[in-house]
Amino acid sequence: LIAMALHVVGAAGVYVLLQMLHQLPPYLDVDYPVLRQHTVLLDLVMRAPPFIPWASMARAFGMLGAARSAWKMLRCLAELSRPAGHGHTVGQMVNLELKMNVLLRRAEAGFKHQFAAAALDAARRASGGDCHGAAAA
């Protein structure tokens, strides 16, 4: 709030300085040189504010802001009321899948090792003339 007030004071100071030096563009000058040259436009601008529903527009913006704040607050409260880890189910499932893949690869490697050992044992027994032992291996 203090920073905003300081910015407003600084902007007002720059505006007054530019106005005193006659360096403001015509659409920012409070003396309205454009409107003084075109009296019909001045009359239109002076009559426009009563026709615009400023109060209802401000009320609508206020209600939109309040609804947005309430929605964000409810989402935050809903997130805080969940049990720990509940919002991270995707990450937890990925972690579980990675662990299952490691176990599957380990089981496949063990099976391949046992299969190769059994084949070598059968080949050794068959070369030694033990056909019944080779069939059992």
Interval 41-76: pLDDT, tens: 777 777 776 677 777 888 999 999 999 999 999 999
Nearest-angstrom CA–CA distance, 137 and 135 = 6
Taking the model in full, what pTM does it have? 0.35
Q: What is the mean pLDDT of residues 67-92?
A: 83
Instruction: Tell me: pLDDT of 9 over 90.
Output: yes
Nearest-angstrom CA–CA distance, 51 and 47 = 7
Which residues, at least 6 apart from 121, have a Cβ–Cβ distance to it below 8 Å? 137
Confidence bin at 30 (pLDDT 50/70/90) = low
For residues 17 and 27, is the Cβ–Cβ distance under 8 A? no
Nearest to 118 by CA among 95, 135, 100: 135
